[in-house]
Amino acid sequence: MKNLVVLSGAGMSAESGISTFRDAGGLWEKYPVMQVASAEGYARDPELVINFYNERRKELLKVKPNGGHIGLAEMEKDFAMTVVTQNVDNLHEQAGSSHVIHLHGELTKVCSSRDPYNPHYVKELKPDEYEIRIGDKAGDGSQLRPFIVWFGEAVPEIETAIKYVEKADIFVIIGTSMNVYPAAGLLNYVPREAEVYLIDPKPVDTHSSHKIHVIQKGASEGVKKLRTLLKSE
């Protein structure tokens, strides 16, 4: 069974109705990014940041995986699949993907403010607990904070992702501009002989030494096309 590794970004979930940060009308126009996605912003106004992510979690209750998420999950029948995602939503899991590495954290989890990556204090929230408040404490007595990798913080899962990318027979990039590091650097670890596909409705600067097969479509149509191409090999 071939190893297929997918790197997914905001464009993967856009069709499901998850607001992206970068696009026109995206969240960055409503909130300065450093206010809600940095340790400094959190230290300055923890209540604003906690409420921002409470709202993002409530959005999750209204959205469903799109055809792209479902198509990738179905491909587990034919490939040893690993999804590496920059997204903090759980739509890959909802669609049935069983091996998902979240580079930028997970919206449905909260953690310690003092020791964010200590697994003892990471807690998965059930939908009826999606709202956390000032005063809600982690196991170490510090304020519960969103389990999100903010700007300027280390990306602990990048090493795990690299291990899988180095063994990829097929590497697929979906809905990411390839400008966000360290995720964009994963292409450097793809084996020379691996096939590389890029699915995005907009033109993407691929600046890579790899030959990249570009599928200029959104996630749902793009994954459908990818499955057809891989079957015909």
Topology of the domain covering 1-18+66-104+155-233: Rossmann fold (3.40.50)
Query: Which H or E run contains 46?
Result: helix 46-60
What pLDDT score was predicted for residue 28?
Answer: 53
What pLDDT score was predicted for residue 160?
Answer: 96
pLDDT in tens, 116-154: 999 999 999 999 989 999 999 999 999 999 999 998 888
pTM across the whole model: 0.91
Band (pLDDT 50/70/90 cuts) for residue 176 is confident
Report CA torsion sign: 101, 103, 106, 107.
negative
CATH 3.50.50.60 is right for the domain spanning 19-62+109-148 = no
Q: Which residues are catalytic?
A: 104
Tokens 């071939």 correspond to what residue? 2
Phi, psi of 116 (to 5 degrees): -55, -35
Domain borders along the chain are: 1-18+66-104+155-233, 19-62+109-148
Strands (E), the chain: 3-8, 80-85, 100-102, 105-112, 123-124, 144-148, 170-174, 195-199, 212-215
What pLDDT score was predicted for residue 233?
Answer: 67
The DSSP 8-state label assigned to residue 18 in this structure reads P
Average pLDDT, the chain: 90
